[in-house]
Amino acid sequence: MKPRFQRPRPQQYTPAAPASRVVTSLTNPLVKDIRALEMRKVRQEAGLFIAEGLKLVADAIEAGWPIRILVHRSGEDKPMLARAVRATRQAGGEVLEVTGEILEKLSRRDNPQTVIGVFEQRLEKLDGLKIAGGEIWIGLDRVRDPGNLGTIIRTADAVGAEGIILVGDTTDPFGIEAVRATMGSIFNIRLAAASSQAFLAWRKGFEGLVVGTHLAGTHDYRDVDYGKGPCLLLMGNEQQGLPDELAKACSHLVKIPMRGQADSLNLAVATGVMLFEIARGQLKLD
């Protein structure tokens, strides 16, 4: 069955307008459609995703992310929620007031958040993507684990990186597990996606530094001058690492030295180590 998500029609909010539609049945069609967003195919077709938590959802709305549906638990009465409800209605989105049972089903959790937002996805095309001086981007080759991807998005946000290019067949950044692991940073980091071939073609026109990480890298990651220009950090797949064709496209191949018995670092940890080194000059305590 095709989801029935409506395109939003911006409305003039008037205080007299009903704030929310009350829904108590798990068989409500809109509730079923939101539940269906747990499937990647449905998310892709609808171009939507779910984010959970009042603060996170309210911040995203404030930052201008297009919200289609705001779901909140009946009886919630917080000024931040009232603002989010108003902003959702002004943007033409729908507001649903639901039972705790429905929230549990929507989030597949026993102790769910009291607010869920259904937002439009933003995924840029690599064609025409320009990386400006000083920007840090990360290329992730076929990242498979949603927890890794979410953690990398969160870490990229923490160091002030600009965006992430998903190369090849990757896990969905808009899947609920990945979004959860971003802790809201999904709303702060630009995302682009491309096949490996499209990435290699784009790379030919990119004049900044491309630093690949590789277990066979001969440079210590601390010895590279990351400079002030644009920098793209390229990370390999969890199982297979960087394939040769991507490794050859790098300006430098670096390694993070290790002393113990571990063969390699976890992908998200290695990305974190690299990002803090690349951004070192730009990071200061207040």
Ligand X SMILES: C[S@@+](CC[C@H](N)C(=O)[O-])C[C@H]1O[C@@H](n2cnc3c(N)ncnc32)[C@H](O)[C@@H]1O
- Tell which one of 99, 147, 238, 243 touches ligand X (CB under 6 A): 238
**C-beta of 2 vs 259, nearer to ligand X:** 259
Give the interface segment with ligand X, choosing from 28-36, 87-95, 153-161, 230-238 (CB under 6 A). 230-238
Give the interface segment with ligand X, choosing from 44-52, 125-133, 208-216, 243-251 (CB under 6 A). 208-216
Asked if 157 touches ligand X (CB under 6 A), the answer is no
Provide, rounded to whole angstroms, the least separation between the CB of residue 265 and ligand X. 4
Binding mask 246-265 for ligand X (x = CB under 6 A): ---------xx-x-----xx
* DSSP for the chain, written as a single string: ----PPPP------TTS-S-EEE--TT-HHHHHHHHTTSHHHHHHHTEEEEE-HHHHHHHHHTTPPEEEEEEETT---HHHHHHHHHHHHTT-EEEEE-HHHHHHHHT-SS--SEEEEEE---EESTT----TT-EEEEEES---HHHHHHHHHHHHHTT--EEEEESS---TTSHHHHHHHTTGGGTSEEEEE-HHHHHHHHHT--SEEEEE-TT--EEGGGS---SS-EEEEE-BTTTB--HHHHHT-SEEEE----SS-SS--HHHHHHHHHHHHTGGG----
Asked if 272 touches ligand X (CB under 6 A), the answer is no
Asked if 170 touches ligand X (CB under 6 A), the answer is no
Give the interface segment with ligand X, choosing from 76-84, 155-163, 171-179, 213-221 (CB under 6 A). 213-221
Give the interface segment with ligand X, choosing from 10-18, 107-115, 116-124, 231-239 (CB under 6 A). 231-239
**C-beta of 184 vs 212, nearer to ligand X:** 212
Asked if 168 touches ligand X (CB under 6 A), the answer is no
Asked if 270 touches ligand X (CB under 6 A), the answer is yes
Burial of 206 (0-12, 13-18, 19+ CB in 10 A): middle
**C-beta of 36 vs 256, nearer to ligand X:** 256
* CB environment 244-266: b (16+ within 10 A), e (fewer): eebbebbebbbbbeeeeeeeebe
**C-beta of 14 vs 239, nearer to ligand X:** 239
Asked if 241 touches ligand X (CB under 6 A), the answer is yes
Give the interface segment with ligand X, choosing from 44-52, 132-140, 174-182, 232-240 (CB under 6 A). 232-240
Asked if 283 touches ligand X (CB under 6 A), the answer is no
Asked if 215 touches ligand X (CB under 6 A), the answer is yes
Asked if 196 touches ligand X (CB under 6 A), the answer is no
Footprint of ligand X (CB under 6 A): 213-215, 217, 235-236, 238, 241-242, 255-256, 258, 264-265, 267, 270
